[in-house]
Structure 1
Amino acid sequence: MPRVKLTDAAVQRIKPPTREARQVDYWDQHLGSFGLRVSYNGTKAWVVQPRALSKGKWTPTRVTLGRYPALSLADARQKAKDALRLASEGKNPRDALKADKARLEDESRNTFDVLADDFLAKYVKRKGLEAKTLREYERTLKGADVAAWRDKPISSIGKRDVHDLLDTIVDRGSPIAANRTLAYLRRFFNWCVERDVISAAPTDRVKQPSKDNRRERVLSNAEIPEVWAAFEAETGLFGPLFKLLLLTGQRRDEVSGARWDEFRSLEGDNPVWEIPGERTKNDLRHIVPLVPQAVEILKAVTRVEDSPFVFTTTGETYVSGLSKPKERVDTFIAERRTKAGISEAIPHWTLHDLRRTVSTRMHEDLGIQPHIVEAVLNHISGHKAGVAGNYNRALYLTEKRRALEAWANHIDKLLGRLPQTNIVELRPAVGATSE
């Protein structure tokens, strides 16, 4: 058992022993219990041999720290010092190494992606959360924003990683989406803490990156023709999709995910769109009467063979990623204003604001009664909320059709397509205003 001054150069120079000798231990001159075991087949392994307490006696205990060169000399020497310290405290260093190994194995299993799957199956789906919330959890935990986290041990994801992720989302112009991402991540990481997978959540004490203001944006009657013209200029599927958002007042996911089998009597006198409960926010089946303008748009959409979806490019899924076509719409409006000599930009608006515009204009410009507007939008509030809602299951199909016809004709009037005498309007409510 030779003693040598173990250096990187010395370790590299050491040759394997003969087959007869099988293996030789080279002990470090500086740290006596630390050494390098060299086998005849060329394997080199770091070892330490402290006196450890076992069954009431201090006995020499050989511990293998790792192989060279995977484990460097500096790291091996530090591990040896740690083992000697543990042994001096009456602890068995072998147990500590086994615990470290088990921890590493556990971390390799507990990646962000694996735990995200567990969370979706054991928490989100078991909770029976609504379909939209499930989609938001899946978008947050399985989407492109967290792609770099997927194979990382969840214990290695820190607060800095969370802040970097939120900053990226804010920088691309989606501050509210960043707030929601934080909320979903916080619930996920807290669940991991509850399951004792991690000791602390990296989302703890992370503040919302943006102020969650209540949105009030409504397109004015002067802005609606501008927006509609931009929809007209948007070729492909997105122009018709955006028009239907404004004509029907339905939610973005409901329109973009529309299926051909949801539409009835497109060639008849009373066409309707029947959205099943699994696709609505309140899980209730919703019937939307279709006005001629909406039917015309649907008939003009090129149908992808064997696909159930109205708005699809692949045939397998409905379109997503509406931010880029929305940007093109905004660019069209800005360029058109510039050509007209208008320096003021249109105030910021979102696709969801189209739904709020339908509601507001129906109330204020057309005098449609609030409960009919709620029925059009499939809102469960006001007269249909709580106990009253258990008894009030009226579909108001006739009233909804009249309201949507009035709204579509109001748009046509703003676009200059209808003379005043042909407009279908309901009697304005008291105190109603118009622009």
Structure 2
Amino acid sequence: MLTDAKIRAAKPRPKSYKLTDANRLFLLVTPAGGKLWRWSYTFDGKQKGMAFGPWPKVSLADARLMRDEANAVLDDLRDPAVAKKLKKEEALEASRQTFERVAREWFATNKCKWALVHQNDVIRSLERDVFDTIGAVPIADLTPPLVLAVLREIEARGAIETARRVRQRISAVFVYAIAQGITETDPAEKLGAVLKPLRKGRQPAITDLIPLRKMIKAAEDDPARPVTRLALRLLALTAVRPSELRGARWDEFEDLNGKLPLWRIPAARMKGDLDRKEEFGGDHLVPLPPQALAVLRALWPLTGDGPMLFPGNRHGHKPMSENAIGYLLNRAGYHGHHVPHGFRAAFSTIMNEWAEREGKEHDRKVIDLMLAHIPKEKVEGAYNRAAYMPRRRELACVWADMLSEGLPDPLVLVDRPAKETARYTRRRVPEPVDADFRFPAPRRAA
């Protein structure tokens, strides 16, 4: 039997020699002074051997343990050397089975069951929110805390429902992996109980400026029609109702080349009873800050040859789908947290807070006018939508300056990848406007 003292005392000789231990374990001492653990065994009538590593990296106790484990495999009528090789291959394969690799296999297997829109939503959510964080981790090594950290990041930007959807998709990937024998447990299965609850009631809206900018940027990064991206930006800048934006016509815009550019939304297109709207001033007047003019300049080469600012995908004389901007926000991961109408709540909240700190006496009333709110009661002798126009222009610029910080120029949005199905990607590519561009005289409706 070997001891640690005997091993340390062993000196190299001109030829290699063995120091034997029990059950065919021995230490091979080489002329160079190396001391290597070996084990000999017989399998299927053939003499074979296994290497357990060098001493002292592998101690005497470790070598005996490895011998006993290999001998147990031999007693099970399996070749220990082959079993060791297979175990090594399994470990290597397990390290190759990363979450991203398995998730993409799961997606390829299941996407035929889903509509194209849902397919894109599923893979985009994984690419955007999951792969960068845990995509390279072997799926068998993932734990509930690691998966929860991914979901908490999504919650941190306010996308509560998206976090819940992503958890369901991660869990589905694990179920697929379990069926394939790649892993044994689903660490995402129970996490739904610790995620933040969904908010119900009012339409969801982000009302903090920095998260709002982040949301706009994320949505504008999505592959979409350039027209849809520009519609989102103009909606955010003007805080009009989504229906009013969708129906916008080029002939509603005034003085686009002058000092007082204005969007006059006809009373007939405004929310509410027409008689009451006319009683309180008729058309809704939207002063345009420079950032809104930049959107219109970028949009003109795309749709300026038709009546609508934001025509539909198939018919240039009809407005875009009422769901187009909402779907853009959903694909960016904000489903259930911000809807197109939410820009009005964001404008009201942020600008009223600003007015509280830095505004003038009547700014709250001005902000209400800018949102085209009709008072429930006549508390004043007149309620004129054109009132306070100089101050409304100033506040429009304040809002646009705050909102646009860090956002790209609208022309950049035109150059980004567009959906292949979009009508405006099949027509000629429009030439961008230059710095000296002037809008043509408005074409008035017949």
The normalised TM-score by structure 1 is: 0.49
Which of structures 1 and 2 has the larger relative contact order (alpha carbons within 8 angstroms, sep 6+)?
2
The normalised TM-score by structure 2 is: 0.48
